[in-house]
Structure 1
Amino acid sequence: IKFLNGGEFLEFLKTFGKIPLPPYIKRDDITNSQDDREDYQTVYASKEGAVAAPTAGLHFTKALMDELLSKGIKFAQITLHVGYGTFVPVKVDDIRDHQIHSETFYLSRKDADTINRAKDENRRVIAVGTTCVRTLEYLSDENGRVKPRTGLCDLFIYPGYNFKCVDAMITNFHLPKSTLLMLVSAFYKRPKILEAYTEAKLKDYRFFSYGDAMLIE
């Protein structure tokens, strides 16, 4: 594709593009699209490049983050530019044969130090979203320590994986047969995850991107 108007590529996308909502979210008018520009974005987002928002982060407001900071909770930021592969269902009989797409990540020295300090002080590392989980585990050594780095993450986490860095996670309720649900099932016992999903259905919790979240530890 070649752009002949001489403008900036990202500005072109902002003008003519649509918010890259998951395929199961349907929009048929411009009003909803404009609302999504604000709603389908975390308050702490800083770098453009993902095709989807890290939806667990949508539950955080500036007021909530300020309250958590006042209680001594530290925040570390990590970037993972989510690719379209996050929406691709697993269709193979053996999940080990599923090919996950590579996604660009970035972790600064400052934030790596914050994470490593938490591990050194025996404090928990709580990942907000499966994107953070995958990136932290990809960057982690056997002792759960991470190094600042930029690169491509293609880690596929499924039951049997041994977590090294992440102690707990906040995540939404995911689609069946998705790599996201497999990651969650790897982090906690699958029967317990299914039990949580059953309770969520009985109590009318909201699922997927604009849905509710849960803390798994």
Structure 2
Amino acid sequence: MPGKFRDASVVELGGAVSKFLVDLSLLEGATVTAIDYSDVGVQQTRQLFKDMGVTGEVLQADIFAMHAGEKTYDIVTHWGLLEHFSEPRAVLKACHGLLRADGLVVFSMPNMEAYGAGLWRLLAPDNYSAHVHHSSEVVAKACSDVGLQLEREFFCGPPLIRMAPAERLRIVAILVDLLHSFVLLIGLVAPSMYLRGARKISNTRGFVARRVVNPS
């Protein structure tokens, strides 16, 4: 999303210790805010911002208890949050309430549609089962229900090999970890290789939605 974050006001939900917000502040000139529920997360984020020279706001709050429109932003983000809720509308409604007119929601979740999700399920079944897969249709419908228009779905990141430490089959896991390390090394040497992703390969699945502006 070239240029979208430049000089924008950006809030991240579940934004504890967010290096993403640090990068946006230092590299894009964005005005950043992190919202997190935990005491530890808030304290660590404030320390991170201080250490990195970031002038940002850190709020301790329950996103579901915040009043819609009380404070609004150009862009609302969350990474790896929606898949922890069986019903996505509540999270997306909270996003809508934090958006300025015509603002954007940019969010992602692990790509549970990738072939590699089979290894995740095999080696770490408890971790896998703690995540909910939301289909493209479910996400689009949830966005529409709360006043958002889904504009784009995208895939990025290295191939999904391992998403969590192994809970079983340790010998197999060692081989998988070696492959995973090799894949990550390729990304470090040639990061552009993983910018254009694929539904059945990439480890990250992302979405961009816009707040619907009702004509007056």
TM-score normalised per structure 2: 0.31
Write 1 or 2 for the structure with the bigger share of strand. 2
Structure number with higher relative contact order (C-alpha < 8 Å, ≥ 6 residues apart)? 2
